[in-house]
Structure 1
Amino acid sequence: MCCITNQKKKKRTQQKMQFTKLQDIINSPDIQSYSEIEIDLWGNQVGQQGASRISSTLAKCNNLCNLILNLNRNQINSQGILELGSAFVKCKNLSALTLSLTDNCIEGKGALNLGSSLTKCINLSTLKLNLIQNQIGDEGCQALGSSLKNCSKLSNLVLILCNNKISVQGAQELGIGLSQCSKLLYLSLDLYNNKIGNPGSKILGFNLAKCSHIKHFIIYLQNNLISYAKQLDFKSQICKQKRLVTKKIYF
């Protein structure tokens, strides 16, 4: 009886694994068996080569349902993002993805590469994406908006796009894309310290008000040169969402 219990415990512990070293990820003999994997390589400077090696390993994880991947400050460019995205697509059971890429160099092209891959993650329902300080600009913001609307099962979205030089056009295209996410119930959008301005806040509010299924909404728009009058207009637009249970708006 004791032996059986120990086997059950071992089986349960194999469902989740954490890694903090690149070499441990690559050399893990049974990484393919895990359904939950957390990788924290913050500030390891893994670069393009490291991103490629991580991608090759993750692509084999057929049982993976939940992935938490922290690659903040690792000098990863658009090509690295392309390879990571390809790995995500091969994880057919992936339903929850937390991807943190603060202070890398993915730019607009990298955001486009990532977005294209996310649309092919057919079971993705929860996405937490941190792209702080990556200079994705309007091009990248537009790419994300166009891609996210095609994630057919997406219900929970956290999108952190601080310090990315996003202006009116980017805000408009992102808003349009999000308004077409038909199953989105929870949205947290952080656009702190961009260049959205009064025109951008107006069009963003107009489009976000069309997110008719959202129940929980959080947005951060501090340091975007939005006047007090336009802040009130934005809040008024969001209040048009009939199904909102909670809303938090920060200027």
Structure 2
Amino acid sequence: MHQKKYFNNVEEFLKSSLQFHYIVHIAMSHKQILDEGASSLGLALANCTNLTNLKLDLFGNKIGRKSTSALGSALSNCLNLQNLALYLSQNQIDETGASALISALANCTNLLNLTLNLSHNKIGVFGTSGLDISLENLINLTNLTLDFSDNKIGAKGASCLGSALKNLKNLSNFELYLISNKIGDTYIHTYILAHGYMHSGQGPYIQLLIHYYYTYTNLFIYNCGQYTRREGSPTPQWHFYQSSMI
């Protein structure tokens, strides 16, 4: 069994035996890390080609476009990753950096569990672009958590989510945070759900948590095999079961 490696210093990680890392937790939150430091971290990660598990805590730093793109390029080399958790909240990541990072994940086709937290950045309307293409390749995902809270992605940015979900046939748990993005209830239910999960054919059911206020809705979307199709219609008939708001 491979031992988990823990790092809380950039220099310590850079000097480590990168090619021999399999399970790594890098905890460097609130370290005043700038683009240069994070870019160096990305270059080092690119050499960790045997990684299967990575947890990267970098929230509360000053990471921008350049280093976010570098992290994306690094992760695209880590083809053996099965579990990936990226906590990049409260940085200075713009739409270009976010899009580059998200697009790079398309190469991590062995991922089973993915957590991506980009909350409280500046990714805007186009920051989620590329998400549909990336998730289209991650067909083995079983657990997915996305946090785009407080990024002003709006309805247009959220539209990428709908088409991104439709190919994730093995997904059993999906948690989505869209707090403070000016996306209304109607849009969340009719677009993200209807154009994503509703055409995915997963089953027997998926647990879906959508956070879009400081409350949450718990939805269970059941597989079309449990329901009948209308005669002559290729579209399965879906039913929503919604809990009360807490």
TM range (shorter): 0.7 to 0.9
Find the residue that maps to 2:175 and give its secondary structure: strand
In 1, are the aligned partners of 2:178 and 2:212 still within 8 Å (CA)? yes
Aligned residue number for residue 73 of structure 2 = 86
Find the residue that maps to 2:79 and give its secondary structure: coil
Aligned residue number for residue 212 of structure 1 = 201
In 2, are the aligned partners of 1:212 and 1:241 still within 8 Å (CA)? no
Match of 1:242 among 213, 220, 223: 223
Q: Distance in 1 between matches of 2:25 and 2:179?
A: 27
Match of 2:149 among 135, 138, 162: 162
Moved more, 110-119 or 213-222: 213-222
Q: Distance in 1 between matches of 2:65 and 2:98?
A: 8
Q: Distance in 1 between matches of 2:181 and 2:210?
A: 13
Q: How does 1:52-201 map to 2 (within 5 A)?
A: 52-201=39-188
Cα drift, residue 143 of structure 1: 2.9
Match of 2:15 among 27, 33, 39: 27
Find the residue that maps to 1:182 and give its secondary structure: coil
Aligned partner letter, 1:26: L
Aligned partner letter, 2:27: D
Find the residue that maps to 2:130 and give its secondary structure: helix
Cα drift, residue 33 of structure 1: 1.4
Aligned partner letter, 1:71: L
Cα–Cα, structure 1 residues 50 and 204, in superposed 2: closer, same or farther, change >3 Å? Answer: same
CA RMSD of aligned residues (A): 2.7
In 2, are the aligned partners of 1:34 and 1:61 still within 8 Å (CA)? yes
Aligned residue number for residue 3 of structure 1 = none
Cα distance per residue 1:125-174 (max 9 Å; x no partner): 21101111112122112332342223232221111111111222222221
Unpaired segments of 5 or more residues in structure 2? 227-240
In 2, are the aligned partners of 1:218 and 1:248 still within 8 Å (CA)? no
Cα distance per residue 1:71-105 (max 9 Å; x no partner): 11221112211111111121221111100001112
Aligned residue number for residue 229 of structure 2 = none
Aligned residue number for residue 16 of structure 1 = 4
Runs of 4+ in 1 over 3 A off after TM superposition: 246-251
Cα drift, residue 240 of structure 1: 5.0
TM-score w.r.t. structure 1 length? 0.80
* Higher helix fraction (1 or 2): 1
Q: Distance in 2 between matches of 1:249 and 1:125?
A: 30
Percentage of matched positions with identical amino acids: 32
Find the residue that maps to 2:138 and give its secondary structure: coil
Aligned partner letter, 2:222: Q
In 2, are the aligned partners of 1:115 and 1:147 still within 8 Å (CA)? yes
